Structure 1
Amino acid sequence: MTDKKLSSIKHLAKRYARATGLTQVQALDLVAGKLGFANWTKLVSASKNDWTPDPEQIASVEEFVRQAFPLEDFQTGNAEAMARRFEFLGQAKHGVIGGHSYRLQVVSHDVIMAGDGWSIKVPENPGAAPIVQTSPENDRHCPVFDPEFLQKALGLANDLAVQVRGEISTDWPRRSTKPDSNGIVRHPLWGDESDLWFCMHCDGKITGTQIAKNLWHCPGCGASPLDIFETAFWCEDDGTSLPPVKVDGGVDRGEPDFRVVDDRPKIELNSEKITLLLRSALLDDATNITERLGALQALISVDDENDVCIALEEDLWPEGKEPVQALIVAAQLGIEIELVSMWSTIPFHWPGIGETTSSTSDYTQMMLDAYAQYDGSPDRKTDE
C-alpha cells in the first residue's frame, strides 16, 4: 500500500478520535478492525508486505467515520462516497415512522425533529434530557405517546446529535475534549487551561474531566461554554468558597421531558403595535396630502392600560374632522382614545397646498414651485 493511502486512512482515524473523544491509538485500532486487523500495528505490517485495501473496505471505513460527523461537514474525494452522502442527507431530513411524517434538522447545534402537532429537541448539551412538545389540541393523541414510535424517533434524533457534537469536538482544540494526566483541559473559546473551572450561571465548581466529558456544558445546571471560566472573578475569593457541582461528570440524559405548549398565534398588544395600527388608520382617514402629513406627524401616546391619546397638528389636520377609521380600530382593540390638537413646527410652508391633491409627486412639484417664487428651495442655503 502506498504511503499516501496509509496516511489517508490514518487521517480518517484522527478525525474519528477528535469527534468521539477517543485517544488516537484507540481510533487507529478501531479503523484497523474495520479493515480486518487486530490492531493498527498489524495493519501497518501488512501494508509493508504489499497489502492494499480494496474499494469496498475503504468505503466501509469512510462510512464508519462519517457516522461521527454532521452530514454537512464530511468530505471525501470519492464520487461514490459523495453520492451515498447526498442519499443519506435526503433520508435524514425527511422520513416516516409508523405512517407519521417527520422532518429532522439542526438549529444552533440542537437537533429538532418535528411532525404534525409534536416535536422533539435533543439539546447540544450531552447531559440534557430530550424535550418532547405537543400542542393542547393534540395532547395524548400524538404519536410521541406511543413508546415504540418515541423510541425510534429518539434514536434518529440522538444519532444526528452525536454527529453534531462530533463536529463541535473536531472544531475545538484536542486538549478541550481530552484532559491530560493531571485533568487539565483547554477552554474551547477562551483558550485558558486548568484542571478546575467555574460556572458563572450556578456558581458551581467543576473539574476539568467533568467539563470536557459534558462538551463544556455545566453538568450541574446545563449552562453553555460561554458561562464557564477558569476563575470565579465575580466572587471576592475567586471561587474558593464555591461548592463543587453535585453531578458526576458522566452523561445521564434521563427520561424525555414532556411539555404541552400552546404555540397558536396570539395577538399581544403593546405600545408599538397599537401605535402602528392607529397611525395606519389615520392614513386611511386622510383624503389629501396635508392630512396624510398630519397622520404621519401625529403624536400617539399609549399608557400602561393601553389607552391612547392622539395629538393632531392643527395646521395639518382639519379642525373638527374625526378620524373615523382610527376610532373604529380603537373600538376593535377595546381601547379608549382621547383626541387633542397641538401646534408645532410643520415640515413645509403653506400646508394648504396639499389640500388640493392626494398625489405626493404633484404636491412636491407645487411646493417646489412655491419656494421658487422666493428664489429658493427648501434645501437651498444663502449667505444673506
Structure 2
Amino acid sequence: MTETNNLHSLKVLAKRYARANRIAQHLALDLIAGELDFPHWSKLITAVKNGWRVNAQQMTDVEAFAMRALPTASFQKGNSEVMKRRFAYLEQAEHGMICDHPYRLQVVLHDVIMAGEGWSIRVPENPGAVPLVETFADRDEKCPVHDPQFLQAALTLARNRAVQVRGEISTDWPRRSTKPDQNGVVRHPLGRGDSNLWFCLHCDGKITGAQIAQNLWHCPGCGTSPLDIFDTAFWTDDEGKSLLLVKADGGEERDGPDFQRVDGRPKLDLSEEKIILLMRSALLDDVNRTGFAGDPNL
C-alpha cells in the first residue's frame, strides 16, 4: 500500500467516523491516529513521510473502530481500554443476562427495545426523548426493573445501543445536516434546503439550526420527526415571525425513565357493533350446522 493510499483510506474512515458521531473532522482524525498508537494526526503524517506504513491487521482494526459509534464523552476521555470494553459489551447485547435475568435487545424503526419476563424498555430514536419502562407488575411485586441496580444496567445498555443507531442515521445523512456551519446553518436531511432557523408544523415551534442538528432533527419541543420540520412556516400568515423559539435544548437525556404499568391480561372489549357481529357469526354457524336461520331481522 502506497503512502497516498495509506492516508486516503485513513481519511475516508475518519470522515465516516466524524459523520456517524457528529464530531469535527480533526477530532476524528486524531482518534484514528490514536488507534494506531500515535498521539495525534500530525504525528501520524510525520511517520508516513518517514516511511511508516499501516499493515493489514492495523487497517482491519481501524475499520472496525470506525464502524462503531460512541457517546462524545468517551472521545474526550480518550481511554482506549474503556472503549474496547464497551465494544465487547455491545457486541453481546442482542441476548444476554443481567443479574440472572435474561433479556432480548433489538432495534425497531430506529427505536431500541429491550425486553424480558414481564418488562420492557424503549429508548426512542429522538435523543431528547425519555426512555419508557413498561411492566406488567406493580412495584410491590417481583419484577427486575423495580431493582435500581438492574434498571440502571439495562438503561445503560439500551442507551448505548441507541447511540450506535443514531450514529448510523447520521452517517446516511449529508454531513451538513448534523454539523452546523459558523452561522448555524444546517441542511435538512430530507432535502428541504439549508437554513439557520427551522419551524415545526406539529407544535408551531421555531428552532435554531444548532438545536435541530443536536436533536437529530426531532423538534426539541414536542419531539416530532424530521417530516414535520420546514425552513419556512408556510402555514402561518406572517411566515413564522410571530412564532416563539423552542426553549428546550434537546439532545440531553433525563437520568430517570418514565414508568408505565401495562395490564397484560386479555380483555373483552364489546361495543354494539361488535355484539351484532358476534351474534350474526353465531347465527351463520347455526345455519351451517342445522339449516335453521333463526330470526331474519338480525
Give the TM-score of the pair, scaled to structure 1.
0.67
> Match for residue 175 of structure 1?
176
SS across alignment from 1:127? coil
Aligned partners of 1:287, 1:255: CA distance in 2, in Å?
58
Letter of the 2:145 counterpart: V
**Structure 1: runs of 5 or more not aligned:** 70-86, 292-320, 324-337, 342-384
1:135–1:261 contact (8 Å) kept in structure 2: yes
2:198–2:207 contact (8 Å) kept in structure 1: yes
1:103–1:113 contact (8 Å) kept in structure 2: yes
> Match for residue 30 of structure 1?
31
C-alpha RMSD over aligned residues: 2.5
Letter of the 2:236 counterpart: C
Aligned partners of 1:194, 1:287: CA distance in 2, in Å?
67
SS across alignment from 1:92? coil
SS across alignment from 1:175? helix
In the TM superposition, what is the alpha-carbon distance from 1:9 to its structure 2 partner?
2.0
Matches within 5 A, 1:105-184: 105-136=106-137, 140-184=141-185
1:126–1:253 contact (8 Å) kept in structure 2: no
In the TM superposition, what is the alpha-carbon distance from 1:120 to its structure 2 partner?
0.6
Aligned partners of 2:221, 2:289: CA distance in 1, in Å?
65
In the TM superposition, what is the alpha-carbon distance from 1:225 to its structure 2 partner?
1.0
**Cα distance change, pair 264–11 in 1 and its aligned pair in 2 (3 A):** farther
2:297 to 340, 345, 359: 340
Letter of the 1:257 counterpart: D
**Cα distance change, pair 254–219 in 1 and its aligned pair in 2 (3 A):** farther
SS across alignment from 1:286? helix
**Cα distance change, pair 6–264 in 1 and its aligned pair in 2 (3 A):** farther
For 1:66-94, what per-residue CA distance to the aligned partner results, in whole angstroms no more than 9, with x for missing partners?
3219xxxxxxxxxxxxxxxxx98872211
**Cα distance change, pair 4–287 in 1 and its aligned pair in 2 (3 A):** same
Letter of the 1:42 counterpart: K
In the TM superposition, what is the alpha-carbon distance from 1:127 to its structure 2 partner?
0.9
In the TM superposition, what is the alpha-carbon distance from 1:144 to its structure 2 partner?
1.2
In the TM superposition, what is the alpha-carbon distance from 1:252 to its structure 2 partner?
3.6
Aligned partners of 1:131, 1:88: CA distance in 2, in Å?
22
In the TM superposition, what is the alpha-carbon distance from 1:100 to its structure 2 partner?
0.2
Aligned partners of 2:157, 2:140: CA distance in 1, in Å?
22
Letter of the 2:262 counterpart: V
> Match for residue 63 of structure 2?
62
For 1:326-348, what per-residue CA distance to the aligned partner results, in whole angstroms no more than 9, with x for missing partners?
xxxxxxxxxxxx7429xxxxxxx
SS across alignment from 1:32? helix
2:138–2:261 contact (8 Å) kept in structure 1: no
Higher relative contact order structure (alpha carbons within 8 Å, sequence separation ≥ 6): 2
In the TM superposition, what is the alpha-carbon distance from 1:137 to its structure 2 partner?
5.7
> Match for residue 203 of structure 2?
202
Aligned partners of 1:288, 1:57: CA distance in 2, in Å?
75
Aligned partners of 1:288, 1:135: CA distance in 2, in Å?
42
1:117–1:138 contact (8 Å) kept in structure 2: no
In the TM superposition, what is the alpha-carbon distance from 1:38 to its structure 2 partner?
2.3
In the TM superposition, what is the alpha-carbon distance from 1:98 to its structure 2 partner?
0.7
**Cα distance change, pair 129–261 in 1 and its aligned pair in 2 (3 A):** same
> Match for residue 73 of structure 2?
none
For 1:86-112, what per-residue CA distance to the aligned partner results, in whole angstroms no more than 9, with x for missing partners?
x98872211001100000000111000
In the TM superposition, what is the alpha-carbon distance from 1:285 to its structure 2 partner?
1.8
In the TM superposition, what is the alpha-carbon distance from 1:129 to its structure 2 partner?
1.3
Residue identity (%): 62
Aligned partners of 1:153, 1:93: CA distance in 2, in Å?
12
2:6–2:54 contact (8 Å) kept in structure 1: no
For 1:203-257, what per-residue CA distance to the aligned partner results, in whole angstroms no more than 9, with x for missing partners?
1111000000000011111111111111111211111111111212452434211
2:242 pairs with 1:285: no
For 1:258-295, what per-residue CA distance to the aligned partner results, in whole angstroms no more than 9, with x for missing partners?
11111333232346644553343233222599x6xxxx
SS across alignment from 1:340? coil
For the pair shown, which has the larger CA radius of gyration, 1 or 2?
1
Aligned partners of 1:254, 1:105: CA distance in 2, in Å?
22
1:183–1:195 contact (8 Å) kept in structure 2: yes
Report the number of matched residues. Answer: 280
For 1:133-191, what per-residue CA distance to the aligned partner results, in whole angstroms no more than 9, with x for missing partners?
11146764211121211121111111110110011111111111011111111111143
2:128–2:223 contact (8 Å) kept in structure 1: yes
2:283–2:293 contact (8 Å) kept in structure 1: no
**Cα distance change, pair 6–94 in 1 and its aligned pair in 2 (3 A):** same
Aligned partners of 1:49, 1:272: CA distance in 2, in Å?
82
Give the TM-score of the pair, scaled to structure 2.
0.85
